Structure 1
Amino acid sequence: MHETGGKNMRKQSKRKLTGIAVLLLSVIMMVGLSSCGEKAKEETEPANVATTPYGQYEGKAKENGVLSFLGVPYAKQPVGDLRWKEAEPLEKSDELLKCHEYGNTPIQVSDEFEQASTTKQGEDCLTANIWTRDISGKKPTMVYIYGGGYVSGGTADPLYHGENFVENNDVVMVSINYRLGPFGFLDLSKIGGTEYEHSRNLGLLDQIAGLKWVKENISSFGGDPDNVTVFGESAGASSIMRLMSSDLSNGLFQKAIIESGGNASIKHVGDKKVDRIKQSQYVAEKFLETTGKKDLQGLLELSGEEVQSYADQLADQLGDDLDLTTWGCVPDGYAVPYDVYGNISKGSGKDVSILIGTNADEINYFNLYDPDLEKSLEEEYQEGTTLGRDFSKNKKCADSYIEAKKDDPQKYTDFCSEYEIRQPSLIFAEMQSAYNDVYMYQWAWKSQIEGLGAAHAVELPFVFGTFDSVTAKRTAGDQLPRELSLKVQAAWAAFAAKGDPTIEGEAEWPKFDQKNRDTMVIDDSLWKVVNDPMPEGRNYLRPMFDVKIPEAK
């Protein structure tokens, strides 16, 4: 799930009815007796049909009162000649689409711990899913961006289904697919010319296209286009950090919930200067070489499955090269600023309030892939790397942290958690607190699965209430405290509604600032505010990061 670690340790006209006829029709629709196959221009719009300039969408009502619209296209599908091009807007239409099933998951690597990779896949994956209690009103809107290291993930994963959240909270929830791996991050600018100059960051540009669609159309589903909260975990959270630093997403969302993001191209003291665009072009040239094709046309003739297969081969070839990131966001000055944290420090995301946090044992997640994780990380550490990232020029700082935790049996795993996720997240929070409201949490509830603790992504079943999903059972356990889920959902929904995660009737959740660093520690039976929890990482490792924290206004 982590954006950098998976490979190395690892998508009419209306005729008015009047008076009692309107009331009668509404009642009939609410009890599910309507027939929705007719086009809306022939009758008043049913309660489960949303009308937008791009089509009419028939949703499906559940007994719990939640209306779901699944597999709604938010852009033209990137197939044929549109492969490796920016998503194009839909054409206007009055066609009625039945939106009862999830669309195709983006083509991706196979991963037994990523259930999205077991769902139906295809390049025609640019779809959204919407859950709402009704299509009237202007409810807070929450848009989820999944993680998966930019190589896996998808909205059809049962872990991310929004029905339970909306049943418990009066919001509109949206999830969007975006292209992954070689479909979303293959830089063909040198091979295909200027027509493909933005192919290196298509996955992020897909997210922006999805947010634009939400801005323009969510009012038809009962959502407020001027009260949008994006939320995401891991690579989804890192995507949000990048979106906040980019002019392309200005005005598309007002709030953000950033779960275990970190890293988003943060700079470290002593980093080797690397031209990431030239690097990404080199990866594309190696990809072309791997396929045996001669040019772009040859690549376009490959099937989607062949593209992914060759990408897997290339990742294996380049996997040990610390200077290369095969798939992922590339700072290019267009979709991704050259200095994400530098932009945030200067106020690029000043109009966005955030709820941000990390889990106490982030990197324990990779125990799922490597039972000897601590030993593996210790071996990497001695070489001056962690999860394939070179920190050798800052090893004295790292050594001081390890010495301070010498009696901790998972000190190398903790170091990796701090370096990769926790400190970058704290730095982001400190920067953003100079411009807008910031709320901080630390997830302390420990998984029932041995060796995981409060690992990366363990909070997700509680956020979505999807305890029956395979991923929930594999990462969190079987008998999970549902009361914790209800409380987490209430806090997330409160933040989406009013920009403050304080739950009505509960103790105040104070704002985070650069001085006190007030943090809500989330556990099963007790939530408590702690001033600067787990300070060792900040005390010993902060000098490793090449950042400037702006003074609070």
Structure 2
Amino acid sequence: MTDPFSRRVLLRTGAAAVAAPWLPARAADAPWYTQTVGPVVEVETEHGRLRGGHGRGALAFKGIPYAGSVSGKNRFKAPPPVTPWTGVRDATRLGPPALQPAGTSYGEHEPAYSEDCLVLNVWTPAVKDGGKRPVMVFCHGGGFESGSGGHRVQDGGRLASTYDVVVVTMNHRLGLLGYLYLGELGGAQYADSGNQGMLDIVASLNWVKQNIATFGGDPGNVFVFGESGGGLKTCTLMAMPTAHGLFHKAGIQSGTMLRGYSKDMATENARRVLAGLDLGPQDVGKLADVPADKLLAIQLAGSKGPLGTPTKGWLASHPNPPSPLYDDFGPGDWGPVVDGTVLPRAPFAPDATPLSADMPLLIGNARDEATLFEMGNPDFFRMDDAALKARAHQVLGPLTDRVLAEYEKTRPKVTAVERGIAIETAIRMGNHTVIVADRKSQQPAPVYRYRNDYESNHPIAGTDWTLRAGHATDIAITFYNYDIPDLQGNGPGLAEASKAMSGYFASFARSGVPSAAGQPAWPRYDTARRAVMLLNSQCRVADDPDGEERAFWQSSAKAG
């Protein structure tokens, strides 16, 4: 049976900057949006000298190693330190994305996928000028299995130059290579396994602490944020002792993680991987010699269900499973493991991790998340009430009639497709956003909650629909990259919406309170008022938007 909810996915250089000749032309390359151009600028880091350039109004340094090799004997372990280099290392082009399924990532002129992918990118208005700019560190999306910090709409040049901030993105291990847990099978040498991809991100934050002052940033004012899978990673970092103190504010966009993998389930996944390679638990050490492409093939096979246990459609395959119906990873998935050490407890279950009690949080999701997930399923956008009920039943089971009745009551004048989008958005993203915001708001630090309402006019092939306020349509908007063609489309009010959203995020990075020129003040979120900023070309505050539906889901969770 077909799964009805399948997913588809000029500036100041500073007195100490060293201006060099323009970058040499590469005859084979036409200009591109995120190209780094001359004059070149050199800086000295803790590990060696770098040569960067200019891009989208800022200085750009790309493909910088923040840790050592994680292949071979270093697989499934915490990343080793960077090996210092001599001479001047070119940092004008992106480094390799993590090993992942073909056809993902979307950085411009990125090199091939690589197991050794621990590189980061920095954009800044100036270097070595004594600046104390807020640092905005972005975790890319793609769940825990795909994506890249080099995606072109995540280019930080315009954000850095417009708001006088430093922007950092990074690549890190993904999928099986990032989250295979061998702690129960491989002994002490694999004690950090299951969370090695997250430890990569921690290593990047340590690099920021050591080096970002050279790039005009303040290591004492770091904002970590991420969209989709990047939001899940941000949740995880908030509960990791090794990340504590390395960042000071958090942002979660359309992706929350309450629990994570249990050691038992993660160990069972490891047994299946070994069996798929004709290895036993006693052969864990042999994994260092398996070709990386073969490990990726095993990962991809597992995501389709043949490693021994059937999947549960998108409930199992999606890294942010729905609440309240299902709240854990499924067989064949990859993600952080609550191992009691690297990740001592779940980030937001049964409550918000106390480790980040004093950390302000900016959190939200898009109004129409589901449109992106159904982009490859034109039939979804043609369904009537009967088709909606049939689809919903596969996911909701005995709760189907109650859910449909509720949405017929709260949205009586909309089509079955629109109700389907609203229901799927709630169970994929919306409900978890409320849970995390509610639980975090019980702590001392402020929470600010939003909903992205800007409607993209990006067409959905095979239908007369557009993405509307769909999943990931807000990434380019947040980075003030609305002019780079992507999911945000090119509709009216786009520049204004991007100015508002990027302004709110940059001001939050600076002060812990979001504000934007010409837009309303943003109230702190609590469970009494439930104030939510509705982000658009003209933003507005709404108290408990869609509150009746929120209350319904919360009561259903208690009843279940």
CA distance in 2 between counterparts of 1:511 and 1:287 reads: 46
Change (3 A) 1:8 1:290: farther
Change (3 A) 1:453 1:124: same
CA distance in 2 between counterparts of 1:286 and 1:190 reads: 14
Change (3 A) 1:455 1:447: same
Q: 2:296 aligned with 1:296, yes or no?
A: no
Query: Which residue in 2 is equivalent to 1:381?
Result: 392
1:77 to 56, 69, 75: 69
2:368 to 343, 351, 361: 361
Deviation at 1:536, TM superposition (A): 2.8
1:97 to 63, 66, 89: 89
CA contact (8 A) 1:237 1:258 kept: yes
Cα deviation code 1:440-484 (max 9, x no counterpart): 111111110224221111111111233465xx43x2224562232
What is the aligned residue count?
500
Cα deviation code 1:96-145 (max 9, x no counterpart): 32211111100101346x52598521011001100011112111100000
2:106 to 115, 119, 144: 115
Q: Name which of structure 1's ranges 51-60 and 122-131 shifts more when overlaid on structure 2.
A: 51-60
Deviation at 1:502, TM superposition (A): 1.2
Query: Which residue in 1 is equivalent to 2:453?
Result: 444
Query: Which residue in 1 is equivalent to 2:137?
Result: 143
Q: Name which of structure 1's ranges 26-35 and 143-152 shifts more when overlaid on structure 2.
A: 26-35
Q: Name which of structure 1's ranges 488-497 and 116-125 shifts more when overlaid on structure 2.
A: 116-125
CA contact (8 A) 2:410 2:549 kept: no
Q: 2:537 aligned with 1:539, yes or no?
A: no
Cα deviation code 1:152-184 (max 9, x no counterpart): 100122121111211212000000111111111
Query: Which residue in 2 is equivalent to 1:269?
Result: none
Letter in 2 for 1:416: E
CA contact (8 A) 1:168 1:486 kept: no
Q: How does 1:302-321 map to 2 (within 5 A)?
A: 302-318=290-306, 320-321=310-311
Query: Which residue in 1 is equivalent to 2:481?
Result: 466
Query: Which residue in 1 is equivalent to 2:53?
Result: 60
Cα deviation code 1:372-411 (max 9, x no counterpart): 336687545313x2xxxxx658668646534535744232
After superposition, the CA RMSD in angstroms is 3.2
Deviation at 1:151, TM superposition (A): 0.9
TM-score, normalising length: structure 1: 0.82
Letter in 2 for 1:530: A
Change (3 A) 1:468 1:406: closer
CA distance in 2 between counterparts of 1:287 and 1:371 reads: 35
Deviation at 1:77, TM superposition (A): 2.0
1:163 to 157, 170, 194: 157
Q: How does 1:415-494 map to 2 (within 5 A)?
A: 415-434=423-442, 435-448=444-457, 449=459, 450-467=465-482, 469=484, 472-473=485-486, 475-479=487-491, 481-494=494-507
Letter in 1 for 2:222: V
Query: Which residue in 2 is equivalent to 1:412?
Result: 420
Q: 2:266 aligned with 1:280, yes or no?
A: yes
CA distance in 2 between counterparts of 1:495 and 1:207 reads: 21
Query: Which residue in 2 is equivalent to 1:16?
Result: none
Deviation at 1:422, TM superposition (A): 1.2
Q: How does 1:178-257 map to 2 (within 5 A)?
A: 178-257=172-251
TM-score, normalising length: structure 2: 0.81
Letter in 2 for 1:460: I
Q: How does 1:40-55 map to 2 (within 5 A)?
A: 48-55=41-48
CA contact (8 A) 1:129 1:175 kept: yes
1:129 to 121, 125, 143: 121
CA distance in 2 between counterparts of 1:131 and 1:396 reads: 51
Letter in 2 for 1:516: R
Q: Name which of structure 1's ranges 482-491 and 177-186 shifts more when overlaid on structure 2.
A: 482-491
1:495 to 501, 508, 515: 508
CA contact (8 A) 2:454 2:468 kept: yes
Change (3 A) 1:65 1:160: closer
Cα deviation code 1:41-64 (max 9, x no counterpart): xxxxx99333232222222134x6
Letter in 2 for 1:457: A
Deviation at 1:426, TM superposition (A): 1.7
CA distance in 2 between counterparts of 1:520 and 1:345 reads: 22
CA distance in 2 between counterparts of 1:379 and 1:465 reads: 41
Query: Which residue in 2 is equivalent to 1:334?
Result: 341
CA contact (8 A) 2:143 2:232 kept: no
Letter in 1 for 2:533: M
Q: Name which of structure 1's ranges 75-84 and 118-127 shifts more when overlaid on structure 2.
A: 118-127
Cα deviation code 1:217-272 (max 9, x no counterpart): 21111100000001100111121112212322211111112111234338xxxxxx
| Unpaired stretches in structure 2, ≥5 consecutive residues | 25-38, 313-329, 460-464
CA distance in 2 between counterparts of 1:523 and 1:445 reads: 5
1:507 to 514, 520, 536: 520
CA distance in 2 between counterparts of 1:458 and 1:116 reads: 17
